[in-house]
Amino acid sequence: MPNITISLDEDLIKLGRQYAEAHKTSLNGIIRMLLEHSVKGQSSDWLEECFHLMDRSGSNSEGKHWRREDLYDV
């Protein structure tokens, strides 16, 4: 498989590696998956998988209702 070089901000790389570790994959794997989903038009499959995983997680919002503005308060 050919290699490519990309330039990313150091903080983004650090956060990406932490995310990858938490999801038992590599930063390279995440980038590959995102690129495949973006260019191969698999976005609807990916979205369905996300909803499936959310349903399986068993998490509970405990009645919290989110507003769009709340997303920016993280």
Amino acid at 63: G
Q: At what angle do helices 43-57 and 27-39 cross, to 10 degrees?
A: 130
DSSP label at residue 9: -
- Mark out the alpha helices in 1-74 (DSSP H runs): 10-22, 27-39, 43-57
Distance CA 43, CA 34 (A): 9
Q: Which residues contact 52 (CB under 8 A, 6 or more apart)?
A: none
pLDDT in the model for residue 69: 81
pLDDT: which is higher, 43 or 44: 44
4-42, pLDDT tens digit by residue? 899 999 999 999 999 999 988 999 999 988 888 777 765
